[in-house]
A and B are shown apart, each in its own frame.
Chain A
Amino acid sequence: MPRLVSHPDEVKIISKRFGMGATNIDRYIELGGYESTRKALEQGPEWIINEMKASGLRGRGGAGFPTGLKWSFVPKQSAKPKYVLVNGDESEPGTCKDHLIFLHDPHAVIEGTIIAGLAIGSKMGFIYLRGEYRYLIQIMEKAVADAYAKGFLGKNIFGSETEFEVVVQTGAGAYEVGEESALMESLEGKRGVPRIKPPFPAVVGLYGGPTVINNAETIAAVPHILAMGGAAYAAVGSERNGGTRLFGISGHVERPGIYELPMGYNLKKMIYEVAGGIRGGRKLKAVVPGGSSTPVLLPEEIETLGMDFDQVGKAGSMLGSGAVVVIDDQTCIVEFALRTISFYAHESCGWCIPCREGTDWLNKSLTRFHAGFGTMKDIDNIQYLAENMMGRTFCPLGDAAAMPTIGFVKKFRKEFEAHLDGKPCPFAKHLEVALV
């Protein structure tokens, strides 16, 4: 069972009901649950969207798009039904925040889904969880059934004239399905390959109807925002980055875990104080700040770095899913880069050639490199390949594979050079046979 952690610097908004038995609907109501949905039902769509805009909440899946703005793009009149789609496919390596939300606070996800539905005028929402999360799917299904039994879902929610249905959907193992258009394909019973954009989902989405797609953490924040007020939520975070985030700190730290910290919290402090510093008193070598697709940062780059979308972007990386992966000085960066790219090679859906071929070749080159058979030319080839994948695919998986690779080569070129011409990896215990 995932262990809960806590630190005095935490500001518990989304996580305030974690560990308090809120999976039980009566307990959830006792803790103030479903009040936000009632309020949203009374106040109407315009009020909801204005509060969301005021909150400064930006998409927690990684792209950081303002949620209120996204909802406002959905046309008011539509010949086809509109849908809300909650993305709980959580598959970016390093990321496990939604795991805790589903485990401890499933009703917050249901509330957020209903409120999003009220905001855009939708009557149906889907909550899509990755297939591996079977026990969490069961928790979500139980919560949905309980909400129906109370009359919070169904034909006349909370005794009103408004209808809202929720379906919990299971995936079956595919990182690519976390991309919004691939997610819609999967929900329509197809292979999870991306769709071309435009049209954007807000106009033509699930079953051809206007669709709002939000990450599970984004949706879980919604009832809290309406309860405390958009402006109060915004004030917790940093400039243009409202609220808090569930930061998942993993890798070589003393106290890994999910910590809810204000947006803009200093990364160095997060590693050394919140997570207890580097394990075994070793030295920090590098940090991947927002899931495996985000370019690596060096120790000197995190000194004054605030963890929000804009500051991490300015530092040449991305906040992504808020998954901070900490790497100590005993780690081989070439092996780390190889493990990263082998994931993307495995997960590339094969739809776009630059990604399908590019990830495969990067995987082969790095495998050969790590086994000590790389050549000087390979270093430039890796960079050339990665750069030519960027922006040439339907979905961002190609970029997600290329960006970290470029980062590793650029910032740790010396370490790549140390693996040249038959020299064994200075760190490796696991020498792999060269495939090419």
Chain B
Amino acid sequence: MTTESMSIFSPALSSRFDALVLKYPIKRSALIPMLLYAQDEIGYLSDAVIDEIAERLSITPLDVRNVASYYSMLRFKPVGKYNVQVCTNISCMLRGAYDLFEHLQDNLGIGHKGVTADGLFSLEEVECIGVCCWAPAIQVNYDFHDELTNDKVDEILATYKAKAAGESTNA
């Protein structure tokens, strides 16, 4: 068991992981949730994240990497503070998702998998996110925004910009 003082995670996440591994008949079942929650806190799956999770589950770092590389939400590189994911799958495509994706590329000045220079936004074209009846839709980090138009999406980006600006003046 990794002690709190040695952990690279916050005390809250560290104790959450301690509890999580006990919920299942086998410890390893906690692997995928742990990777995702660690990524939420650290930003991506760094070598240190992988090593600590491997140790907590008594498996090798290579084994962890092998599993992590399978899942599309898990990443090995940092993204922007707000990761904008645009669904272009069939239901969204029929309701203008490609136009929306193009508009977002113009607005942010970046392409697929790009990150803005200030690190605030990243952009990604993704597969179906399960909001098909309210298309077109995007997901910014974990927040869904549906029934979008170009104007609506501009407003949404402005809200995130304002939120980030507010956070930096408060800090």
Contact = CB atoms under 8 A, between A and B. Distances in A.
B76 interface: no
A2 B134 contact: yes
B128 interface: yes
Contact of B135 (A134, A174, A256, A346): A256
A190 B128 contact: no
A90 interface: yes
Interface residues of A, number: 61
A181 B43 CA distance: 31
Interface stretch (A43-51, A156-164, A323-331): A323-331
B130 A132 contact: yes
Contact of A248 (B23, B30, B133): B133
Contacts of B29: 169, 187-189
B33 A169 contact: yes
Given A174-B70, A292-B90, A327-B94, A188 B28 contact: yes
A170 B32 contact: yes
Contact of A250 (B36, B132, B139): B132
Contacts, number: 150
Contacts of B89: 93, 292, 339, 343
A336 B95 CA distance: 12
Interface string B7-38: 00000000000000001111011111101100
B31 A94 contact: no
Contacts of B57: 189
Interface string A1-20: 11100000000000000000
A90 B128 CA distance: 10
A92 B132 CA distance: 10
A336 B90 contact: yes
Nearest to A99: B130
A175 B23 contact: no
Given A91-B128, A192-B70, A343-B128, A256 B26 contact: no
Interface in A160-198: 167, 169-175, 186-192
- Among A135, A251, A323, A347, the one with the most B-chain Cβ atoms within 10 Å of its Cβ is A251
Contacts of A81: 25
Contacts of A349: 70
A207 interface: yes
A132 B90 contact: no
B132 A95 contact: yes
Contact of B90 (A2, A130, A190, A340): A340
Nearest to A80: B25
Contact of A186 (B32, B73, B146, B147): B32
A325 B30 contact: no
A153 interface: no
A171 B68 CA distance: 11
Nearest to A133: B130
Contacts of B93: 335-336, 339
B160 interface: no
A134 B142 contact: yes
B147 A323 contact: no
Interface in A78-106: 81, 90-96, 98-99
A91 B132 CA distance: 10
Contact of B31 (A133, A189, A331): A189
Contacts of A249: 133
Nearest to A186: B32
A126 to B, nearest CB: 9
B114 to A, nearest CB: 18
Contacts of B24: 167
Given A167-B23, A248-B133, A173 B91 contact: no
B66 A191 contact: yes
Q: Which of B23, B29, B88 has most A Cβ within 10 Å? A: B29
B44 interface: no
Given A188-B26, A251-B91, A288-B90, A172 B130 contact: no
A257 B70 contact: no
Nearest to A288: B90
